Each structure stands twice: as C-alpha cells, then as structure tokens.
Amino acid sequence: MTQKLTDKPVSIAADHRGVALKTRLKAWLLANGYAVTDRGTDSDVERVDAMDYAVRLAAEIQAGRSDFAVGICGSGQMVAITANRFPFIRATLLHTVEESLGARRHGDANMLVLGADLTDADTAERMLEIFLSTAALGERYAERRERLARLDPSKL
C-alpha cells in the first residue's frame, strides 16, 4: 500500500467520452481505500459539455470537500483549460506515469486530467496511483508555487 496524502473523498467527473474510464478509476479508488465523490456524468450516449464537469470538480475542491480531483473528457483539453480558470486549481493533463510524478512533485497539482480517447486504462490507473501518493517538493518548487498563487492578471 502506498502512502495516502488525503483522508477526504477523491472527486471524479467525466463527460460522455470519459464515462468508461471514470467507472474504471472509481473502482480502483474504492478498491484501494479511497472514498469517492462521483459528480457524473453516467451516460456515454448523451452528449454533455466537459466544461460543466470541470466546474463541478472545482467546486468540490473550493468547498474543501476534496483535496484531489480527477477530470476526464475525450482529449482532456477542455477539462484542463476550464479547471485552470480557477486560481485554487492546479489541473494537469497527463499521459505518462513520469508526468504524474512531476506534476505532483513540482506543481503540487490537485486535479489529474485524462484524455479518455488517448489514454489506456492501465496507464491511467498507474498515473492515478502515483498522483495520489506523491508529495510535493519544498524549497524552490514551493517558492515557485507561491509565486504562481500571487500572479495578478491586472498587473500584466
């Protein structure tokens, strides 16, 4: 068993293209001792907008109900772009286990984003395992994250 960085439920959501991967990752989370908050969608035939599901995940983190979220759409792009509009979200679209390590160590990412059309489920499971068990580094990495949090668009 790898270390757990959170005792809160992991929030997960997907658009219609990500339903199958969401089901698989939810099962992995439950089997590995994580509580799960599933914010939909549940139909892979009814077309929905990935943006709405990214917003649902952001709301879970903003409210403090989850420390980590997993968002899925076909490419992952729409979830990642939407989620990163919120300053308290550090969403990262990943394709490899190595990227998952870096996203947590350097970026303290709190939302794992996956493209269901591009990512096989075994790799996604491994990325999720690494994502939820890799601590963020301190020192210069922490200083950069603090700078990031202070970036002010009105001062461009």
Ligand X SMILES: O=P(O)(O)OC[C@H]1O[C@@H](O)[C@H](O)[C@@H]1O
Among all residues, which ones are annotated catalytic? 73, 106
Specify the residue, 59 or 81, whose C-beta has the smaller distance to ligand X: 81
DSSP designation for 10:
E
Residues in the chain: 156
Task: Record the tokens describing residue 6, joined without a space.
Answer: 């959170």
Interface with ligand X, residue 78, by CB under 6 A: yes
Specify the residue, 46 or 98, whose C-beta has the smaller distance to ligand X: 46
Interface with ligand X, residue 75, by CB under 6 A: yes
Interface with ligand X, residue 124, by CB under 6 A: no
- Are 16 and 52 spatial neighbours (Cβ–Cβ below 8 Å)? no
Closest approach of Cβ 115 to ligand X, in Å? Answer: 7
Question: Within 34-53, which residues bind ligand X (CB under 6 A)?
Answer: 47, 50
Specify the residue, 36 or 50, whose C-beta has the smaller distance to ligand X: 50
Residue 13 three-state SS: strand
Q: Pick the stretch among 68-76, 86-94, 121-129, 138-146 that binds ligand X (CB under 6 A).
A: 68-76
Specify the residue, 20 or 30, whose C-beta has the smaller distance to ligand X: 20
Closest approach of Cβ 82 to ligand X, in Å? Answer: 10
Closest approach of Cβ 114 to ligand X, in Å? Answer: 10
DSSP designation for 37:
E
- Are 124 and 21 spatial neighbours (Cβ–Cβ below 8 Å)? yes
How many angstroms separate the CA atoms of 86 and 99, rounded? 22
- Are 78 and 121 spatial neighbours (Cβ–Cβ below 8 Å)? no
- Are 131 and 1 spatial neighbours (Cβ–Cβ below 8 Å)? no
